[in-house]
């Protein structure tokens, strides 16, 4: 059943691409002036997004190359403090992929002595998606984006502390 779903997803992606291509061709043949206007807007958007995409790809490469599970365990253990907060927040922001893929690592880190507060901050900051940053800036401006991201980063600290307090009362 899983294979059928994957095949269906792949097929639907190609169908969507084909439909979009057909729509563009129809616009091209029916109204060339409108097609050129649409094309100019598309190129303008791509030019705005290229620098941001470059930064995002570079940051993701650096994270995947230099940060390992052992590094996280070592710096986010029992004796950690500000360094652990910074690592949890930055790793959360830079992490990619579906969240369920991170649960086994979080379980392993928790068994290794990483506090709940850091795990909560990591998971909270996964809400910041660098790959969507270009769209955020494009739609809402740099000022809004920076304020929103700073608030999310700062709020992750009390969020982690509260989560740890709540989980300790359950124990």
- pLDDT tens, 126-158? 888 888 888 888 899 999 999 999 999 999 999
Mean pLDDT of 57-64: 69
What would the two tokens of residue 88 be? 């949890």
Is there a contact between 163 and 120 (Cβ–Cβ < 8 Å)? yes
Q: How far is CA 148 from the centre of its chain?
A: 15
pLDDT at 158: 94
Helix (H, G, I), strand (E, B) or coil at 102: coil
* 125: enclosing H helix or E strand: helix 116-125
Q: How far is CA 59 from the centre of its chain?
A: 12
Domain chopping of the chain, boundaries: 49-170
pLDDT at 6: 63
pLDDT at 107: 82
Q: In the 3-class helix/strand/coil scheme, how is 16-28 assigned residue by residue?
A: HHHHHHHHHHHHH
Answer whether residue 1 shows pLDDT above 60.
no
pLDDT band (50, 70, 90) for residue 63: low
Answer whether residue 69 shows pLDDT above 70.
no
- Give the range among 14-28, 70-84, 116-130, 157-171 with minimum mean pLDDT: 70-84
pLDDT at 159: 93
pLDDT at 40: 93
The whole-angstrom separation of Cα 13 and Cα 64 is 28
Q: What is the mean pLDDT of the chain?
A: 82
pLDDT at 169: 67
The whole-angstrom separation of Cα 126 and Cα 103 is 12
Tell me the pLDDT tens digit for each residue of 85-110. 888 898 888 877 777 777 877 887 78
């Amino acid at each position: 059943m899983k294979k059928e779903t994957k095949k269906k997803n792949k097929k639907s992606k190609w169908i969507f691409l084909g439909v979009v291509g057909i729509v563009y061709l129809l616009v091209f043949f029916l109204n060339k002036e409108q097609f050129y206007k649409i094309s100019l807007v598309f190129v303008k958007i791509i030019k705005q997004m290229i620098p941001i995409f470059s930064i995002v790809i570079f940051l993701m490469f650096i994270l995947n190359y230099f940060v390992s599970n052992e590094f996280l365990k070592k710096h986010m253990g029992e004796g950690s403090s500000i360094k652990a907060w910074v690592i949890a927040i930055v790793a959360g922001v830079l992490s990619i992929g579906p969240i369920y893929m991170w649960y086994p690592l979080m379980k392993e880190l928790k068994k290794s002595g990483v506090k709940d507060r850091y795990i909560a901050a990591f998971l909270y900051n996964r809400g910041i998606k660098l790959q969507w940053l270009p769209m955020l800036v494009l739609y809402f401006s740099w000022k809004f984006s920076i304020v929103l991201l700073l608030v999310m980063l700062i709020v992750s600290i009390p969020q982690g502390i509260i989560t740890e307090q709540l989980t300790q009362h359950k124990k």
